[in-house]
Amino acid sequence: MKTESHLEKVLKAGQFAVTAECGPPKGSDVEALKEKGKSLLGVIDAVNVTDNQTAIVRMSSVAACSILKSIGHEPILQMVTRDRNRIALQSDIFGAYAMGIRNILCLTGDHQTFGNQKAAIGVFDLDSIQLLKTVKDMRDEEKIIGGESIQVAPRMFIGAAANPFADPVEWRVVRMAKKINAGADFIQTQCIFNMERFEKFMAQAIDMGLTEKTYILAGVTPFKSVGMAKYMADKVAGMDIPDELIRRMAGVPKDKQAEEGIRISVEFIQRFREMKGVSGIHLMAIEWEHKVPEILELAGLKSSRAN
Amino acid sequence: MIVATLKEIDEIRKMIDRYDSVLVVGCDSCVAECAAGGSRETMLLTAALKLSYLKDHKNPTITEAVLDRQCVDDFIDQIADQAPEHDAILSLGCGAGVQALARVYRDKPIIPALNTLFIGETVSRGVWQENCLGCGNCKLGYFGAVCPVTRCSKKLMNGPCGGSKGGRCEVNPEIACGWDMIIRRLDALGELDRLTEYVPPCDWSTSHSGGPRKVIREDQQP
């Protein structure tokens, strides 16, 4: 074991891991955060805490991780390089580890022009791969950028994101390999809707021996409605949603669409469980966290992780 | 070249309305190439200002002049006689030109007529593209002569990010994805191997992050 992370333990034991996303509130509402967190307790292995996702100002991910940990969660600290320079990034990693956070997901982040602070400066002092290497060097070499040594190194279990569907397509596995070489112990993918393309991506990853070096968790997002499916297909960067899925959502009455969306997710999860090289799933049920237990139960994944 | 665009006349008016006489000074270098502050634009702006004041029944003295380069003292001297005769100077130079005029004509208010945007090239008639941020540590040789610092909206050195779609940037489909260009160009050159190596964090101390920069060359000094 590289770390004291519970997620690492689960993955190392060969259990099919389940992580889910929990977005911090827009404000300092601790109770709302705890409420969201409670619905995920005992059904997932670790909770991803987003870092000002889509560049919308929310409670800091470090603080939200700490609050979720206090109610019994294993948090994964999402950290983007958009808003902090290397001084702030490294300092926050020290602080997060000091508060008992053992997992980190290193991201560049959506561009600031997407959010509610469009006039903000984008920092981008480091990119996500440089952040991965930084966290790895802090843990394994006990050094910060520039080579100075540190007292009590943060021993984080390090994650990275991968999007199999962005362009240039032929470059996607190469980029994931770069992330793994830089220090990614685990990968959480962008939401998968195009199974065929994802299977090809995984076959390539297996061929390159990447699944021997890292754990890949496949991204799952349930549609609440056909409107959401269309919106994601048209507006959200880096999505590949086959028309067939949108037709399937449109084919059921409005009041049954949420159910259909969940059914699709459950079918996907079952396929991921069978898929070679996939070590788990990452559920991104956006503002629908309370549905996660139901999805996992339907997919037969809930009972095994009650603690 | 430095690329700039003309400010709205209302904004210019707000800054110069307090003066009775204004010397409008163009620059026949970069800003002439990008059709923002050369002889032609200086003439047009002067005429537009006069018309605008006429509509308001005002008649300030507005004189036009154009320098070959507004950022070099030897050329700035070309308006040495006209400058004292005016209350203020309205500069159609880039930000460097405005500040150079202010250094030379210490007692004159210098007002910018342009918004200075970037270092770029004329890619086709009427189209200017930003392609250098002046980071002070040129790595174009590793990236197929496409700058990741400038052409990638997130300054990614190990890109492309997950928002690249059909060669377009996630920020705006009008923006070409810098990393898509890098990959295509290196692929065409047979040098894709350059991209498999990890690129460490940049040293931004050579950029503006190190404070305002200055080049001093003794061999060039008198």
Domains of chain A by start residue, with CATH: 6-221+278-286 (3.20.20.220)
For residue range A182-199, what is the model confidence (pLDDT) as tens digits?
Answer: 999 999 999 999 999 999
Q: Do B85 and B7 contact (CB within 8 A), yes or no?
A: no
The type of residue at B116 is T
Structure tokens at B124: 């086709």
For residue range A155-177, what is the model confidence (pLDDT) as tens digits?
Answer: 999 999 999 999 888 889 999 99
User: Does A86 lie at the interface with B, CB-CB under 8 angstroms?
Assistant: yes
**For residue A204, with 0-12 CB atoms within 10 Å meaning exposed, 13-18 middle and 19 or more buried, which class applies?**
middle
Residue B39 domain-assigned? yes
Residue B218 domain-assigned? no
B154/A130 Cβ within 8 A: no
- Give residues with Cβ within 8 angstroms of A262, minimum separation 6: A222, A291, A294, A295, A298
A111/B153 Cβ within 8 A: yes
Which residue in A123, A183, A109, A149 sits closest to B202, CA to CA? A123
Residues B136 and B119: their CA atoms lie apart, in Å, by 13
Q: Which of A53, A85, A127 to mutate to test the interface with B (most CBs of B within 10 A)?
A: A127
For residue range B30-86, what is the model confidence (pLDDT) as tens digits?
Answer: 999 999 999 999 999 999 999 999 999 999 999 999 999 999 999 999 999 999 999
B101 lies in the same domain as B26: yes
Of A145, A167, A178, the CB nearest to B164: A167
H or E, element range at B23: strand B21-27
B15 lies in the same domain as B96: yes
User: Which of B118, B145, B168 is the C-terminal boundary of a domain?
Assistant: B118
Count Cβ neighbours within 10 Å for each residue of B89-106 and write b for 16 or more, e otherwise: bbbbbbbbbbbbbeebbe
Structure tokens at A220: 């799952």
How far A300 CA sits from the closest chain B CA (Å)? 31
User: Does A204 lie at the interface with B, CB-CB under 8 angstroms?
Assistant: no
Strand, helix or coil for residue A276 = coil
- Give residues with Cβ within 8 angstroms of B83, minimum separation 6: B23, B89, B105, B108
Residue B127 domain-assigned? no
Q: Which of B184, B187, B196, B198 to mutate to test the interface with A (most CBs of A within 10 A)?
A: B198
Which residue in A78, A169, A173 sits closest to B164, CA to CA? A169
Q: Do A158 and A139 contact (CB within 8 A), yes or no?
A: yes
Of B171, B199, B201, the CB nearest to A111: B171
B111 lies in the same domain as B167: no
Q: Do B140 and B147 contact (CB within 8 A), yes or no?
A: yes
Chain B partners within 8 Å of A120 (Cβ): none
Residues B46 and B12: their CA atoms lie apart, in Å, by 11
CATH number at residue B114: 3.40.50.2300
A238/B163 Cβ within 8 A: yes
Expressed as residue numbers, the domain containing B34 is 2-118
Count CB neighbours of B152 within 10 A: 27
Chain B partners within 8 Å of A182 (Cβ): 158, 198
B107 lies in the same domain as B54: yes
Residues A168 and B163: their CA atoms lie apart, in Å, by 10
Residues B165 and B176: their CA atoms lie apart, in Å, by 10
A181/B163 Cβ within 8 A: no
Chain B partners within 8 Å of A181 (Cβ): 198
Structure tokens at B177: 């994805």
Q: What is the pLDDT along chain B (222 residues), one digit of tens a residue?
A: 999 999 999 999 999 999 999 999 999 999 999 999 999 999 999 999 999 999 999 999 999 999 999 999 999 999 999 999 999 999 999 999 999 999 999 999 999 999 999 999 999 999 999 999 999 999 999 999 999 999 999 999 998 999 898 999 999 999 999 999 999 999 999 999 999 899 999 999 999 999 999 999 999 999
B162/A127 Cβ within 8 A: no
B161 lies in the same domain as B200: yes
> From edge to edge, which strands make up the β-sheet containing B61-67?
B61-67, B21-27, B88-91, B110-112
Total domains in chain B come to: 2
Residue B221 domain-assigned? no
Count CB neighbours of A272 within 10 A: 23
Give the per-residue SS3 of B197-221: CCCCCCCHHHCHHHCCCCCCCHHHC
How far A125 CA sits from the closest chain B CA (Å)? 8
Residues A37 and A289: their CA atoms lie apart, in Å, by 8
Residues B88 and B31: their CA atoms lie apart, in Å, by 21
Residue B222 domain-assigned? no
B76 lies in the same domain as B164: no
Of B183, B198, B202, the CB nearest to A168: B183
What pLDDT does A236 receive? Answer: 82
Packed helices A195-207 and A172-182: angle between N→C axes, nearest 10 degrees = 50
| Predicted-complex ipTM score | 0.93
**Chain B residue with the nearest C-alpha to that of A235:** B170
Whether residue A133 is predicted with pLDDT greater than 80 in this model: the reply is yes
Of A86, A122, A130, the CB nearest to B158: A130
Q: Which of A130, A192, A208 to mutate to test the interface with B (most CBs of B within 10 A)?
A: A130
B154/A111 Cβ within 8 A: yes
